[in-house]
Amino acid sequence: MCSRTLAALIIYLSTVTTASSSPSATVDAGVVIGTTTSLPSSATTVNKFLGIPFAAPPVRFTAPQKPKPWSEPLDTKTVKPACIQQFVYPKESSDLIQSFFNNPAAEESEDCLYLNVFAPATPAPENGRAVMFWIYGGALQFGHGGHPVYDGSKFASGEDVIVVTHNYRTNVFGFPSSPELPLTGHNLGWLDQRFALDWVQRNIHAFGGNPNKVTVFGESAGAWSTDALLTSYPANSKPPFRAAILQSGQISYHSPIEADTTSSWLTLAAALNCSDTKGTLECIRVAPAATIKTIVDQQSLPFWPVPDNVTLIEDPVQARVSGNIARIPILSGTNAQESRIIVLGLTNTTAYLNSIGVSPDAIPRIEAAYPIGSSEFPTAYDAIAQMATDYSLHCPDALLTNATATSGIPAWRYYFNASFPNTQFLPDLGVFHASELWIVFGTYPLANATAQEAALSNYMRETWARFAKYPVAGPGWNAVGTGSDFFGGAGDLDIGLVGSEGSAGVEVIRQAEVDSRCSLWVPILTAGS
């Protein structure tokens, strides 16, 4: 985060005051002691329990296990270390991503499977409060649930819901692609998420929550994870959540997950001098974590999930189209200019389209739809950024929400289109990927905040919480209609346009108003489906 934005965030955090009381809760492993805090202009105080172990300190490359019970009350007043992070972006974007997600640099440890609970301090209703379970983004390579942006205090104080954030293992520590591991031992980070969800089912009542009222919500890789959860629970199952919110991500159409990262594992093994041993897995298991981190960072080695038919099924598109997924309401959406922060430095449209596998005959048609030098796309960078937004996020979301609705599952869609000077890392980033996070959580910097920013944050937080409380009723606008046509014509009037042109609320618009170029991308996105 740039120094100005970081200073402003510190100012925001300083407005959260801590009361003298120390709330307690009894979970299945023992008693936890938290803190009670109050926020300006809120009559409701918040009980915060930070750093509750939901699993034992993990053994490297093994599934999570329950923590050992503790006999004395456990102090849970401080966020615990992040899991070991890896940043493998192009240089221009990497610096910016780290300045937001890792500034100040988080303490990191393999002992990282902890969660945080933000709950209203007032007595809960007899049937318990709704629970919002947050999954952070970071391309499954970095991130942590204790980041200040994910502080759930405003949700708890203003919307009378409980927010749970947690850590899960990422990169090689969370998704080791060792041929020596069974298939079900590769997606450890996603097993961590499920383990935390199971903890919520067993323990959230101790904080006033109802385990039958859980909504999973996530952004970017957190939305990938949410979609993996949705599609891996078949229609006849009872998942540990009753609704889902996907912010800027999914895995069903244009999966961002690479098919095979065994080469990354072999490269890591060679760098650690583990290739010639009979037990490469064990050799890497005992290598110093700092050495592993240095290698995967310096060599930009990605590690991804694999279809294990537990946390990730082989064909999520077919499962969704057939309706054989978790049949729960979803709210899904994207930001207007997602990829401006992702494609920094790119200026050749043909090279970009070649890099994502667009056929030569389709390239001229796509380039013509994003005319460089026009008022909408003054530069090649502007055109590439919108191409990347449409291809990787926006049009896949159109496909996902329409397919979900067509299979008879309630689906709502939003389109976020607001930017504010105090959250711009560089000039003209616009409505970039992850820029809605400050608004959703209400953790935007107070310095230079605008009236629209404050009002829009209140609206989005209220809307997200309303959906968590009453998912069948939806967020407040039309559900996506079955049989919607976004290839041409008007389409259904069912997209919630949030924050456009100074608005602090929602305007309901037709799909065609934002999906006009998706007809170019749909054949590419659905090829082989």
Q: Which of 264, 433, 436, 484 is catalytic?
A: 433
Tokens 């009453």 belong to residue: 470
Q: What would the two tokens of residue 174 be?
A: 């969370």
Predicted confidence (pLDDT) at residue 112 exceeds the cutoff of 90: yes
Ramachandran quadrant class, 376 (left: phi over 0; alpha: psi -120 to 50; beta: rest) = alpha
Q: How confident is the model at residue 93 (pLDDT cuts 50, 70, 90)?
A: low
* pLDDT beyond 80 at 403: yes
pLDDT band (50, 70, 90) for residue 90? low
Q: What is the mean pLDDT of residues 126-146?
A: 97
Kindly report the three-state secondary structure assignment for every residue of 189-210. Answer: HHHHHHHHHHHHHHHHHHHCEE
284-296 mean pLDDT = 96
Angstrom distance (rounded) from CA 221 to CA 264? 20
Residues 435-456 as b/e (b if ≥16 CB within 10 A, e otherwise) read bbbbbbbbbbbbeebeeebeeb
pLDDT (mean) for 38-54: 92
Given a cut of 60, is residue 234 above it in pLDDT?
yes
Q: What average pLDDT does the segment 357-371 reach?
A: 97
Angle, CA of 244, 161 and 403, to the nearest 5° = 15
- Candidates 159, 219, 338, 436; catalytic one: 338
Helices marked H in 204-348 — which ranges? 221-232, 262-271, 280-285, 289-298, 316-322
The Cα angle at residue 441 between residues 453 and 327, in degrees rounded to 5: 120
For 454, half-sphere exposure in the C-beta direction (CA atoms, 13 angstrom radius) is 8
Give the max Cα distance, the chain. 68
**For residues 448-466, average pLDDT:** 97
State the Cα–Cα distance between residues 370 and 357, nearest whole angstrom. 18
pLDDT at residue number 4: 43
Looking at CATH, the fold of the domain delimited by 3-261+302-345+379-525 is given as: Rossmann fold (3.40.50)
- Residue pLDDT, tens place only, 507-521: 999 998 999 999 999
In angstroms, the CA 234 to CA 28 distance is: 29
CA–CA separation, 438 vs 444, rounded Å?
A: 4
384 pLDDT higher than 90:
yes
Residues 6+ apart with CB under 8 A from 485: 491, 511
Average pLDDT score over residue span 187-194: 99
Q: Is 367 a catalytic residue?
A: no
Q: Which of the four pLDDT bands, split at 50, 70 and 90, describes residue 487?
A: very low
- Give pLDDT, residue 276: 75
Predicted confidence (pLDDT) at residue 8 exceeds the cutoff of 50: no
Write out the two tokens for 221. 């890789």
Residue 19 has pLDDT above 60, yes or no: no
236-281 confidence digits (pLDDT tens): 999 999 999 999 999 999 887 776 789 999 999 999 999 977 799 9
Confidence (pLDDT) at 483: 40
User: Collapsing DSSP states into helix, strand and coil, what is residue 382?
Assistant: helix
Band (432; pLDDT cuts 50, 70, 90): very high
Q: What is the pLDDT of residue 528?
A: 64
Which pLDDT band, with edges at 50, 70 and 90, does 88 fall under?
Answer: low
254 is catalytic: no
Q: What integer best gives the mean pLDDT of the chain?
A: 92
Q: pLDDT at residue 17 above 60?
A: no
Overall average pLDDT of the 60-76 stretch: 98
pLDDT band at 484 (very low <50, low <70, confident <90, very high): very low
Q: Which phi and psi angles does 32 have, rounded to 5°?
A: -120, 145
Residue 212, helix vs strand vs coil: strand
Indicate the DSSP class of residue 185: G
> What percent of the chain is modeled with pLDDT above 70?
92
> What are the tokens at 154?
């405003």
53-62, 171-180, 206-215, 422-431 — which is least confidently predicted? 422-431
Return the SS3 of 506: strand
Residue 151 in contact with residue 66, Cβ under 8 Å?
Answer: no
Contact call for residues 53 and 65 (beta carbons, < 8 A): no
* Mean local confidence (pLDDT), 66-91: 91
Write the CA distances from 402 to 22, 176, 406, integer angstroms: 47, 34, 6
Among residues 177, 220, 225, 435, the one annotated as catalytic is 220
Q: Give the Cα separation of 383 and 363 in Å (integer).
A: 13
Q: Work out the percent of the chain whose per-residue pLDDT is above 90.
A: 81
Contact 190, 196 (CB under 8 A): no
Instruction: Please check whether residue 241 is in contact with residue 229, taking contact to mean a CB–CB distance below 8 angstroms.
Output: yes
pLDDT at 482: 45
Report pLDDT for 89: 55
Mean pLDDT, rounded, for 186-215: 99
